[in-house]
Structure 1
Amino acid sequence: MKQNTGRRLLQYALHAKTTFIAALLLLSIGVAAELAGPFIARSMIDNHMLAIEQPYYQTSSPDDAALYNNAYYKRGDRFKPGEEKGGEVRLLQVGRSFYFIGQPVEAADGERSFEAGQVTIDSGGNKLSYPAVKLTTDELFAFYKPELPGITKLVGLYGMFLVISILAEFGKTYWLQSSANQVVRRLRTDVYAHIQRLPVYFFDNLPAGKVVSRVTNDTEAVKELFIAVLSNFASGIINIIGVYTALFLLDARLGLVSLFIAPVIVVWVILYRKVATKYNTIIRSRLSEINAIINESIQGMSIIRIFRRQKQRLDEFETLNEDYLKYQNKMLNLNSLTSHNLVGSLRSLSFALVLWYFGFGSLSGGTIVSLGVLYAFVDVLGRMFQPIIGMVNQLANLDTSMVSAGRVFKLMDEPGESVTDGGMPRYKGNVVFKDVSFAYKKDFVLRDISFEARSGETVALVGHTGSGKSSIINLLFRFYDPQRGSISIDGQKTTDIPKQWLRKHMGIVLQDPFLFTGTIASNVSLEDESITREKVEWALREVGADRLLAHLPQGFDEPVVEKGSTLSAGQRQLISFARALAFDPAILILDEATSNIDTETESLIQQALEVLKKGRTTFIIAHRLSTIRSADKILVLHRGEIVERGSHDELMALGGRYYRMYQLQTGSAVQKEDTAQTAETAPAVHIPAGMQSAGRQG
């Protein structure tokens, strides 16, 4: 059963859970350290800067006291238990100035004014006046001086939390990216490993460029999920939780007013993703198609140029590119309409509500909340919108990553071939097909195929295109299994043998051999540890490749580029023969192995074939019938059935389909040669110019 994409991503994240947990722990520490700032600011404002309006008492001790008119005054909350207090005095701010009142003040809250040496406080219509003296700057500083150690301590504490926040941010970023790289490395490895297990026919329907896009582009998008998206969303969620905790600690009423923000964001994210997922699915699909057409164009560049199809291919590419651009623009419009606009509106609305309900009272001297609490609240609330903006900006990446992850997991959900560890001893290679019928889809391409190939025999498969030759080889390799009948090797059914074990003792030489980027030697051994350098050189010498490759500057260590494009067809074929010989298969398949070889090289290839066929069961698919005259058994296929079988001489004597095919290949060549000789000995005939023209037109 297919699992949810998010759950599967979580399972991959758990492979790097230690670093992820460490990163999230540092993120929490960093958020806590950052949110400590407003609390420090509140303490600085309420307990030191504005606390100067608290009651002062005369004292004889100069410790923590202010000197004014040759007398010491200390804040009431600074007295130690049992310490004697003198007369009470107050300092009140009116406008921008501070005034000294040498007596207790009944109610300091209310509208204040100063006139004719009197400070008047209007508290709900009840006016009280007190004699007051305006303080000079130096006199005011004398009262602030005892607050400086506390302010300095808070500034130092703020600096310490700032350093903690910076270090936590560094650690969080490093560990988050490190764990994300681990997760994506594992995911990419798993995808590539699964591709290796997918049945061969899967790649018949999916272009290589699309597969490459899943392994590279889509996994890279998943990486962004763990680095950017997870970082922003995790820090955003932790920040919002921290902010709401701080808001409720500052004032429960302020916290309640701000609660409306969270559900708005949640609903908005859900609605956004519904639209964005549709666009991103198309965007990722178009990107895969673009990769596919680029890959196909590069592979077939020579054909495109020979047939002058550059403009048509460019038009196809431009159509995909235009569609990709169209949906990218739709995503841009969606993001621009729903990102900063919403965040800005939420911020303005929340600030307006707070200032309307709480702010004016505090600013006018009311008692709803203190100015320090209001400042801290506005600071904390402002800090909440920064992570919200970060989350909003990552919504597009979140959806892209989830769509990409879904595409990756869809590929991984394709049924693959089971991998069986271990191996089996090299079998002799007695192959028996018994009443085998096979269809790729509905129509059978093989019908009741029965034959036996004994160990060491050479069996040739001939027939027109589509007669079923390659299908027999596909069944032998177990790329497919027959719907009816059975195939056995040494008396054991192939369906009872694990595919890896079966193929371990098979080898193939293709019409157009595939060489990997590396060296000639590495293409023979395919980096198999069991094949030594000595065995590689022996195999190359045995097939005569040393003579054809002798002119290369680095010999067997000559670099090979992709597909061996710098080597001739004959050189590539001999390397392919040496590869098959080095792996020493019990069953060898030669698929049109000499069809692309020039006449001069063919003799060398034929000698290599004789070396290669010794001691193993060999199947040859051939259109050039002259190359299979020495085969022990020739099977002639027609429309999925074996219509003739026997040696070359037996089939020629039969005078059937094989005879006609052979005559068509060899007899037509002789006939052409005879016609040419007749033309050379025949007298020249003069043809009038007009007749020549007419002849050409006809």
Structure 2
Amino acid sequence: MSDDVRKYHEEDAIGNVYDIRIARRLLGYLRPYWHLAAIALVLTFLTNILISTQPFFTKLAVDEYITPGRTDGIWLFALAFFAVFLFRFIFSYAQEVLLNRVGQRVMLDIRSQIFSKLQRQELAYYDRYPVGRIITRLTSDVDALNELFTSGVIDVLGDLVIIIAIIVWMFALDWKLAIVSLVTVPLLFAATNWFRKHARIGFDKVRTRNARLNAFLQEYISGAQTVQLMNAEDRAQAKFREINDRYRQANIETIYYYAIFYPLVDLIGAIGIAVVIFFFGYEYLSGLSAAGTALTVGVLAAFIQYSQQLFQPIRDLSDKFNVLQAAIVASHRIFVLLDLDVAIKSPEVPKRIGPAYGKIEFKNVWFAYKDNDWVLKDVSFTIEPGESVAFVGHTGSGKTTVTNLLMRFYDIQKGSILLDDIDIREWDLNDLRSNFAVVLQDVFLFSGSVEQNIRLGNKSISRDRVEWAINEVHAQEFISVLEGGLGFQLKERGAGLSVGQKQLISFARALAFDPKILILDEATSSIDTETEQLIQRAVDRVMQDRTSLVVAHRLSTIQRCDRIIVMHHGELKEMGSHNELLGLRGLYWKLYQLQYEARAAG
């Protein structure tokens, strides 16, 4: 794994990662909406130019109407002044609407791209990286990009326009007073630079600690039952308080820089205005102004307003720079995710597509989740189409790993796995997995209706087949009493249903998909004896004429399988029928004796 990937997932402070390639890539997301962005940019220029005319109107009002006491034509002046502000309002409104449309569309595109990438990532990716931090990519980091597109780049250009326009107006009115007005600008830039550097560090801390907070919340909310079971609420609360407090501290540090910067800018602005007033008073009262360029009260009023207007966009530029920095950091993390290679994908030219016959063969398979910590060691076996094979062994012996490798959730390091005599790495990935239906011990149900959870968006599965499936597993008895029946809306992970009911829905899902290969991974270990008896008949029928792999601890559920494979510390130790393995009086016999004694003792 590269250093960038490690940084990204550890949420270390990235610091200044600005790269022109990142900026160019970000602008690429604007390309489909360039016409809207261009119109918004033009409106921004027009709005800021109109803003810059306001002090000039003040100068005209004072010198042409108020000072001489003139009233002729004042209604035309007032109408022009009103028209300027009316157009400013219209342009500003249209600009905001267009920019937010562009920003929301870009966010939609980026989130869709990230989600699509996450859906195609191999399971090993989620083994390595916390879900909470991945969610931060989809939420906080994408929001930072939205801020860039809605109030970042275009507003920066608008601020530059108004700064240039103000300076031009000031020099047009009086070049000496303009120079005096700009004396404090270097101080303002120095303060802005100080704020920019320190606030950037603060933003990095806020984002880093926010990601850690999200990761903690996701983990402990998902594990709330375990926390309560182990009476670990106080310890979890203490740990959350520590992480939450560090997040608070990061925000307070950032607020500290804001608390200094904004009053400092106001102070520098006040100094600038005081200098302008002093210089005006000196020139005006001493009569040192050159002939034809005498300063007027209207000019002074205009310069005071121009000075105030000049400081605002310069101050805003600092904020926009921090928006840019936050967006660059966020986009860096997003692009690292988007650029991660999907390790497991279909070959460019698959050797096999479509449904399988169901023949499975492992040839000298070695596999480790990490480095050389082998989970499977030189495992070889063959399963013929329609054969049912059970995998037994102690926890950690590699039973579930066999099924995960078969569906290519992970790739092996040595050996080969064949489906219908074709290496599974030569299969089209979607076609490969469409041959399997899996029923797990820990059933995952999505929020939505019961029918949607059985079909999982597969439109080829008819309503009649769904009803057939729930009848086969005897799930209609509890589904019929739910409000709406198949249309009953399940909550997240099927909250409110019993473990047995969730298992029955999972079995109905497997039956509805009519797989060539059925995998039952501890599928009945969480079901009570009565429920197990109800579904056993359906399980037996669905296993007929299908290749079936059964992973189980309870040996009583697998005795009718054609063959049983005994795993021990990642190695295949024994293989045969139930009676054959008992006759060997080996590892399987010992496992059977332990369970028999346990049942007898119970």
TM range (shorter): 0.7 to 0.9
Task: Answer yes or no: is 1:430 the counterpart of 2:359.
Answer: yes
What TM-score, normalized by structure 1, do the two folds share?
0.76
The one of 99, 108, 113 equivalent to 1:185 is 108
Query: What residue in structure 1 maps to residue 9 of structure 2?
Result: none
CA distance in 2, matches of 1:360, 1:582: 92
Q: What SS does the aligned partner of 1:593 have?
A: coil
CA distance in 2, matches of 1:458, 1:411: 41
Task: Answer yes or no: is 1:484 the counterpart of 2:414.
Answer: yes
Task: Answer yes or no: is 1:289 the counterpart of 2:212.
Answer: yes
> Match for 2:35: what amino acid?
T
Asked which structure has the greater RCO (Cα within 8 Å, sep 6+), the reply is: 2
Query: What residue in structure 1 maps to residue 270 of structure 2?
Result: 348
Query: What residue in structure 2 maps to residue 466 of structure 1?
Result: 396
> Match for 2:89: what amino acid?
I
Query: What residue in structure 2 maps to residue 13 of structure 1?
Result: 30
| Larger deviation, residues 40-49 vs 470-479 | 40-49
CA distance in 1, matches of 2:439, 2:517: 11
The one of 475, 479, 493 equivalent to 2:423 is 493
CA shift for structure 1 position 257: 4.9
Of Structure 1 and Structure 2, which has the larger fraction of its residues in strand?
Answer: 1
CA distance in 2, matches of 1:38, 1:668: 92
Query: What residue in structure 1 maps to residue 10 of structure 2?
Result: none
> Match for 1:589: what amino acid?
I
Cα deviation digits, residues 403-426 of structure 1 (max 9, x gap): 444443343333335766999321
**Contact (CA 8 Å) 2:166, 2:306: kept in 1 or not?**
yes
Query: What residue in structure 1 maps to residue 48 of structure 2?
Result: 31
Query: What residue in structure 2 maps to residue 226 of structure 1?
Result: 149
Query: What residue in structure 2 maps to residue 201 of structure 1?
Result: 124
CA distance in 1, matches of 2:497, 2:425: 39
**Contact (CA 8 Å) 2:44, 2:155: kept in 1 or not?**
no
Q: What SS does the aligned partner of 2:481 have?
A: coil
> Match for 1:386: what amino acid?
Q
**Contact (CA 8 Å) 1:570, 1:597: kept in 2 or not?**
yes
**Contact (CA 8 Å) 1:15, 1:183: kept in 2 or not?**
no
CA shift for structure 1 position 235: 3.5
CA shift for structure 1 position 29: 0.9
Query: What residue in structure 1 maps to residue 14 of structure 2?
Result: none
Contiguous gaps of at least 5 residues in structure 1: 53-140, 674-698
Task: Answer yes or no: is 1:622 the counterpart of 2:517.
Answer: no
Query: What residue in structure 1 maps to residue 517 of structure 2?
Result: 587
CA distance in 1, matches of 2:142, 2:429: 29
Query: What residue in structure 2 maps to residue 652 of structure 1?
Result: 582
Query: What residue in structure 2 maps to residue 413 of structure 1?
Result: 339
CA shift for structure 1 position 356: 4.7
> Match for 1:11: what amino acid?
G
CA distance in 2, matches of 1:399, 1:424: 47
CA distance in 2, matches of 1:668, 1:46: 103
The one of 504, 523, 528 equivalent to 2:453 is 523
CA 1:265 to 1:498, structure 2 compared with 1: closer, same or farther past 3 Å?
A: farther
**Contact (CA 8 Å) 1:229, 1:394: kept in 2 or not?**
yes
The one of 555, 561, 565 equivalent to 1:635 is 565
CA distance in 2, matches of 1:360, 1:489: 95
CA distance in 2, matches of 1:280, 1:199: 32
**Contact (CA 8 Å) 2:344, 2:410: kept in 1 or not?**
no
Query: What residue in structure 2 maps to residue 158 of structure 1?
Result: 81
**Contact (CA 8 Å) 1:340, 1:389: kept in 2 or not?**
no
Cα deviation digits, residues 174-209 of structure 1 (max 9, x gap): 212222111222222222222212221221233322
> Match for 1:346: what amino acid?
I
Query: What residue in structure 2 maps to residue 94 of structure 1?
Result: none
CA 1:265 to 1:365, structure 2 compared with 1: closer, same or farther past 3 Å?
A: closer
CA 1:270 to 1:498, structure 2 compared with 1: closer, same or farther past 3 Å?
A: farther
Task: Answer yes or no: is 1:174 the counterpart of 2:103.
Answer: no
> Match for 2:379: what amino acid?
I
> Match for 1:347: what amino acid?
G
**Contact (CA 8 Å) 1:276, 1:399: kept in 2 or not?**
no
Query: What residue in structure 2 maps to residue 613 of structure 1?
Result: 543
CA shift for structure 1 position 319: 0.7
CA distance in 2, matches of 1:281, 1:619: 49
How many residues align? The count is 577
> Match for 2:355: what amino acid?
R
Structure ID, larger Rg: 1
**Contact (CA 8 Å) 1:339, 1:393: kept in 2 or not?**
no
Cα deviation digits, residues 528-551 of structure 1 (max 9, x gap): 222222221122222322234333
Cα deviation digits, residues 49-69 of structure 1 (max 9, x gap): 77x7xxxxxxxxxxxxxxxxx
Task: Answer yes or no: is 1:388 the counterpart of 2:311.
Answer: no
> Match for 1:617: what amino acid?
T
Q: How does 1:107-122 map to 2 (within 5 A)?
A: none
CA 1:669 to 1:471, structure 2 compared with 1: closer, same or farther past 3 Å?
A: same
CA shift for structure 1 position 591: 0.5
CA 1:363 to 1:489, structure 2 compared with 1: closer, same or farther past 3 Å?
A: farther
Task: Answer yes or no: is 1:367 the counterpart of 2:384.
Answer: no
| Larger deviation, residues 558-567 vs 398-407 | 398-407
CA 1:406 to 1:271, structure 2 compared with 1: closer, same or farther past 3 Å?
A: farther
CA shift for structure 1 position 613: 1.5
Q: What SS does the aligned partner of 1:201 have?
A: helix
Query: What residue in structure 1 maps to residue 8 of structure 2?
Result: none
The one of 369, 378, 390 equivalent to 1:448 is 378
Q: How does 1:49-88 map to 2 (within 5 A)?
A: none
Q: How does 1:275-314 map to 2 (within 5 A)?
A: 275-314=198-237
CA 1:350 to 1:491, structure 2 compared with 1: closer, same or farther past 3 Å?
A: same
> Match for 1:167: what amino acid?
I
Task: Answer yes or no: is 1:600 the counterpart of 2:523.
Answer: no
Quote the sequence identity (%).
Answer: 35
Cα deviation digits, residues 379-431 of structure 1 (max 9, x gap): 32222223334445566655544444444334333333576699932111211
**Contact (CA 8 Å) 2:273, 2:304: kept in 1 or not?**
yes
Query: What residue in structure 1 maps to residue 303 of structure 2?
Result: 377
**Contact (CA 8 Å) 1:518, 1:561: kept in 2 or not?**
yes
CA distance in 1, matches of 2:188, 2:288: 34
CA distance in 2, matches of 1:585, 1:364: 99
The one of 421, 442, 466 equivalent to 1:536 is 466
Cα deviation digits, residues 314-359 of structure 1 (max 9, x gap): 1111111111111211111122122330x22432343344445555
CA 1:260 to 1:493, structure 2 compared with 1: closer, same or farther past 3 Å?
A: farther
CA distance in 2, matches of 1:496, 1:388: 60
Query: What residue in structure 1 maps to residue 139 of structure 2?
Result: 216
Cα deviation digits, residues 598-621 of structure 1 (max 9, x gap): 111111121121122133211111
